[in-house]
Amino acid sequence: MEFLEAAKAASTKIAGRTVAVWGTGFISAALSESLSAFFPVAFYISDTDGAECFCEKPVYRSKQVGLSPVKNFIVVLADQKHREVREALQTAGFAEDSDYIDFKGDGDSVFKYKYEHKTPSRVAYWDTPIDCGDESYPEDIRFRVCGQNSGNLVHWHALKKNLNMHSYGRLHCSAEAMSGYDTLVVSALIYIRRDDPFNWASFVMQLPEHLAVVPISVGLASDNRDPGFRLHKNVLRILKNISQRCVSMGVRGEYTAEILAKHGIKNTRVIGCPSLYYPFLTRGSMDIARSEEPLRVVANASGGSDVWLDYIAGNKFAFVDQSLNALGARTDYAERKFFMDVKKWETHVGGFNFSIGTRFHGNVIALWSGIPALFIVHDSRMREMCELFKLPSIELDEFDSRKPVRHYYEAAYYSEFNKAMPKLLENYKTFLTENNLAWNGVKAKCVQ
C-alpha cells in the first residue's frame, strides 16, 4: 500500500470518530509523527508492547477497550501474521477501508514516507567527548576516551569519513542540541556484555520524539556464542527504544541478530563493520596484493594468549599495540608502536606486506593499504565479522607456534572475500538508504 495516498484517502472517512492505532510492538515515534499528519490519534492498542503510555497517549490491550465502528476508526499497523487483529475488528463489525485502514504490517513504507519527505536529512553523530587525535590532550586521557582500545578509532574514522554527519561530543548530545537534527547515528553499541546495564546509553530515552536513532554495528560479546545470552533489562529497554526510532538496526552478524530477535527486536540488518566498506565508498575498491618478497610482518594482539604473544616476541615482529601494554614485560619484538591518529597508523602499516593477529581493526587497517591479513579469532564478535565477510581466519586454539609465519601467510587468501564483497556492499548501501543516511555526497533516496 502506498502510504501517502492511502492515508490521505482514509483520513476523509474518520467522520468524527475516535482514532486508535493497533500495532504489535511496532509503535514508534517515527510512526506517530507520520500518522499525526493525517489522523488525530487518541490512543494506541498493543497486546505485545508492555508500554502503558506513548507520545502522551495511553496504550491499551485490546480487551480493555470496547471498539465499535460507530465510535472508532482504526489504523492497523500489525504484521499480516497477526490475523487475530483483523478477525477481532471484523467480528466487531468493522469494514476495511470505511472503518479501518490496514497497512498490513508494511511499516517500512511508513518510515520511508517520513524520511523521503524530510530530505536532506540533518544527521548528527554521537562522537567522543574530545578528538582522540588531538595531541593537545594527554595520551592517557585520549586512550580512556576511545574505550581503552585504539581500534575503535578505525571504526569511527570510517564512519565519519564516509557518512555526511555533524559530530557531537557525547557530553553535548543533549535533547536541546538534537532538536535541530532529524537523525542521530550511534556506533558505541559494538560491545554489549552479558548482564551489562549500559547505563550510559540511557540518554536515548530522553531524546526528542522526532529524532530517528540509527545504531551501527551493534554487537554482543560472547566467547562461545551462548544461545541463552542474557541482556540486562536496561539494555533491552534502550535497544527497544532505538529499534522503534529507525527502519533497521545495523548489527555485526547473524549471532547478534538472532539474540536480539529472541528478545523481540527484529528490525535488524546484518551489516558487519563499516571499516571494511570504507575503501570501497572512498576510492571504489580495495585491492589486496600478494607478495613474493621476504615477509615484513606487523602483528597485533589483544592479550590473554601467552602462546601468541610469545610468538610475536620470539619472531621479533613489528607490533602495533592497541591497549598500551598488550605484550606485558616482553621486550624481544622488533618495534612497538601505538597510534591515536588513524592516518599515521595506516601509513606505518603500509610499510609491511603481512598483518596477523587477534585485533580485528588492527588487521582491517592493513587491508586498507592492500596488505593481506590473517585474523586470529578469539571471541564471537570477531567470529561474526570473519564469517560475514569471508575473511581468512583461524581460531586462536588452532594457532601452532611451531609453524613458521610463512605457513600463516599462505592461509591469507582473499578470493572468497572478493566474491562476497559486492553483495555485502549493496546490502550496506541499502541499510544507509532505508535509514536516510547519505554517503560521500550521495543523497539517500528511499524507493517505495
Rg of the chain over CA atoms, in angstroms?
Answer: 25
Q: Which CATH number among 3.30.700, 3.40.50, 3.30.450, 1.10.3470 corresponds to the domain 3-107? A: 3.40.50
What does the pLDDT read at residue 138? 78
Percentage, residues of the chain above pLDDT 70:
84
Please name the helix (run of DSSP H) or strand (run of DSSP E) that holds residue 45, with its range, or none.
strand 41-46
- Per the CB < 8 A criterion, the answer to whether 189 and 202 are in contact is no
Q: pLDDT tier at 33 (50, 70, 90 boundaries)?
A: very low
Segments making up each domain of the chain, as ranges = 3-107, 123-280+424-434, 289-413
Q: Nine-digit cell at 444? A: 539517500
User: Which comes out higher in pLDDT, residue 92 or 78?
Assistant: 92
Task: Read off the C-alpha cell for 313.
Answer: 616476541
Task: State residue 21's pLDDT score.
Answer: 87
pLDDT band at 118, cuts 50/70/90? very low
- Give the pLDDT of residue 25: 52
Closest CA to 28 of 191, 189, 240: 240
Whether residue 211 has pLDDT greater than 70: yes
Q: What is the pLDDT of residue 47?
A: 81
pLDDT at 38: 59
Q: Residue 339's pLDDT is what? A: 94
How many CA atoms are closer than 13 Å to the CA of 351, on its beta-carbon side?
7
Residue 218 above 70 pLDDT?
A: yes
Above 80 in pLDDT, residue 330?
Answer: no
* Residues 48-64, mean pLDDT to the nearest whole number: 75
Say if strands 57-60 and 53-54 run parallel, antiparallel, or are unpaired.
antiparallel
Q: What is the pLDDT of residues 235-281, one digit of tens each?
A: 999 999 999 999 999 999 999 999 999 999 999 999 999 999 999 99
Q: Over 70: is that where the pLDDT of 46 sits? A: yes
State the amino acid at position 284 in one-letter form. G
- The CATH code of the domain at 289-413 is 3.40.50.2000
Q: Note the pLDDT of residue 204.
A: 86
Query: Within 13 Å and on the Cβ side, how many CA atoms surround 201?
Result: 25
For residue 164 the three cell numbers come to: 555526511
For range 329-354, the mean pLDDT: 89
8 A C-beta contact, residue 186 and residue 212: no
pLDDT of 56 reads 62
pLDDT tens-digit profile of 96-117? Answer: 989 998 876 544 444 333 333 3
Dump pLDDT digits (tens) for 184-204: 999 989 989 888 888 778 888
Mean of per-residue pLDDT scores for the chain = 84
Domains 3-107 and 289-413 share a fold: yes
pLDDT band at 119 (very low <50, low <70, confident <90, very high): very low
